[in-house]
Amino acid sequence: LGGSFSSAIVLLGQGEIQGAVEATDPIEEFERRQSLALREGVADSLSDLAMTWGMSWVDIARILGVSVPALRKWRLGEAKPKRDNRKRIAHIVGLLSAMKAVGVVEPAGRLSVGVVDDSYLTLRDLVASASVTDVLDYVAGRLAGEELLDKNVDGWRERYRAKIDTYVAADGERAMRMRGSQDL
Amino acid sequence: VDGRGGGRDDRPVPVPDETELYEARRGGGAEVPLTIPYRQGDVFEVAAGASEPSLRMLFMHPCTMRSGVAIADHVTVLRVRKFGKGSARDRDRWEAGNYSEIPLRKLLQNRNIYDAEMSKIDTVDSATLPRTSRIASLTDAGMLAVQHRLIFHLTRLSIDYPELEQVNRALLAELEMQRSWSELSVPAQAATETAVVEAEEAYEEFLAANDRRIRLRDPLEGEAGVRREFNEACLKQFGSLPG
């Protein structure tokens, strides 16, 4: 994959990337949706994150560093978030739209899984600190996960090293195993 | 830790503060909402009226203690004891050792401190644990703390909380949506055990349809779709978004 994000076809061989994508520039899409979200207001943006993107309140709250009850108050108009948080909510809306434009099937899901095998850090942990360009480069396969973490998280290899793998066991439930060991 | 088994790691085993540990506690006129599903770490009063309450903690893994969205017929519980008066040294005591105990600071919202003893396990009929006798329910972080301590007690293996959270993600999502569904179905003032069970049965129907429970286990491409469908179902049925 070379050239700009506006490539009409994205073929990366990754499970989460669709074969064909609309010719939308993801950065423009980010800016357009972010701007729209700021105009629409917090309640609409939060509903959009839940209804359109399938994000959980828990994940949204964690990205913003607030509690789920606080989100509920904002959504119901019982309290107003500060300007920083309004911008952060609009940022998430814009980012998910841009990820979709890059070809990510479920952007909210992409935020919740590990960036690299060796660490349990997820994109959700990086939303507040990483640049939009870096995140989009990463999900488009133009930036390795290690590079994304090197740029944004000091000492991630030591501080956030994954000891276990999760997998689906024979009974259909998720299970843990030490890295490098066999399925039960 | 040098990775070859000869190292030393002096980091304490984390113990959540009571503000992080409890989702709801009985006390000060408050009750644990019946709409909260049965969860690992729930504490029940099993001999009400005695001079000293007899307390038990549900400790089976949250997958195995559930039959669909309902509690299994038989479950294992830990005995909960009054340990003594709270002191500043409690945290040190639990962080640096005594790994067979699950600390329950301010369980009854008084000065006494309690712990669940992992060496004292009983199997009980779940009918003896009605939700009306529940005196505490733990947060997600509290439930993961129970798992962390249980694994460490049994194996001496310390799993970081984010990794435990990752493996529990689908179950936590299922529980979160179950509670939301019950809250939307049953007004708080009209909540009874029977009404909540009926709401949970309707939620089970939703979850069992269209492979939703299976899709929920796929965080990359399945969970978001199930959440969208759940939100749509809540809007359609109750006229309100969950949560």
pLDDT tens-digit map of B6-42: 556 666 667 778 888 999 999 888 999 999 999 999 9
* Residue B141, amino acid: A
What average pLDDT score do residues A116-138 get?
95
**pLDDT of amino acid B243:** 81
Residue B5 has pLDDT above 70, yes or no: no
What proportion of chain A, given as a percentage, has pLDDT over 90? Answer: 71
What average pLDDT score do residues B178-197 get?
92
What proportion of chain B, given as a percentage, has pLDDT over 90? Answer: 60
B chain contacts of residue A164, beta-carbon cutoff 8 Å: 159, 163, 167
Residue A84 has pLDDT above 80, yes or no: yes
**pLDDT of amino acid A2:** 34
A chain contacts of residue B225, beta-carbon cutoff 8 Å: 54, 106
CB pairs under 8 A between A and B: 92
| Among candidate residues A54, A108, A141, the one with its CA nearest the CA of residue B220 | A108
pLDDT grade, residue A65 (50/70/90)?
Answer: very high
Q: Of A32-46, A49-63, A116-130, B40-54, which gets the smallest average pLDDT?
A: B40-54
B chain contacts of residue A175, beta-carbon cutoff 8 Å: 167
Whole-number average pLDDT of chain B: 88
B77 bridge partner residues: B58, B122
Nearest to A163 among B159, B168, B226 (CB): B159
**pLDDT of amino acid A75:** 92
Residue B156 has pLDDT above 70, yes or no: yes
**pLDDT of amino acid B105:** 83
What distance lies between CA A53 and its chain's CA centroid? 11
Token pair 């066999």 is at which residue?
Answer: A182
Query: What distance in Å separates residue B177's CA from the closest CA in chain A?
Result: 10
The model's pTM is 0.87
**pLDDT of amino acid A174:** 81
**pLDDT of amino acid B49:** 60
Residue A18 has pLDDT above 60, yes or no: no
Query: What distance in Å separates residue A40's CA from the closest CA in chain B?
Result: 18
Whole-number average pLDDT of chain A: 86
Task: For residues B90 and B77, give the distance between their C-alpha atoms in angstroms, rounded to a whole number.
Answer: 23
Q: Of A2-11, B13-22, B88-97, which gets the smallest average pLDDT?
A: A2-11
**pLDDT of amino acid B170:** 93
Query: What distance in Å separates residue B53's CA from the closest CA in chain A?
Result: 32
Residue A8 has pLDDT above 70, yes or no: no
Nearest to A105 among B163, B221, B235 (CB): B221
The SS3 call for residue A27 is helix
Task: For residues A184 and B5, give the distance between their C-alpha atoms in angstroms, rounded to a whole number.
Answer: 23
Q: Do B221 and A109 touch (CB under 8 A)?
A: yes
What's the pLDDT tens digit per position in A164-183?
A: 888 888 887 888 888 866 65
Residue B179: CB partners within 8 Å, gap ≥ 6? B35, B36, B37
* Residue B221, amino acid: E
**pLDDT of amino acid B8:** 61
Query: What distance in Å separates residue A1's CA from the closest CA in chain B?
Result: 23
And the tokens for A49? 């994150």
Q: Output the DSSP codes for A80-138.
A: ---HHHHHHHHHHHHHHHHHHHHTBS-HHHHHTSBSSTTB--BHHHHTTTS-HHHHHHH
Residue B175 has pLDDT above 50, yes or no: yes
Q: Of A8-17, A62-71, B104-113, B144-153, which gets the smallest average pLDDT?
A: A8-17
What average pLDDT score do residues A119-145 get?
96
What average pLDDT score do residues A123-132 get?
95
**pLDDT of amino acid A17:** 45
What average pLDDT score do residues B73-78 get?
96
Task: For residues B107 and A44, give the distance between their C-alpha atoms in angstroms, rounded to a whole number.
Answer: 39
- Helices and strands in chain A: count of H runs, count of E runs: 10, 2
What distance lies between CA A38 and its chain's CA centroid? 19
Cβ atoms of B142 and B22 within 8 Å: the answer is yes
**pLDDT of amino acid B43:** 97
Task: For residues B227 and B43, give the distance between their C-alpha atoms in angstroms, rounded to a whole number.
Answer: 29
Measured between alpha carbons, how far is residue A167 from residues B53, B204, B227 in Å?
41, 24, 22
Q: Of A18-32, A88-102, B127-141, B178-192, which gets the smallest average pLDDT?
A: A18-32
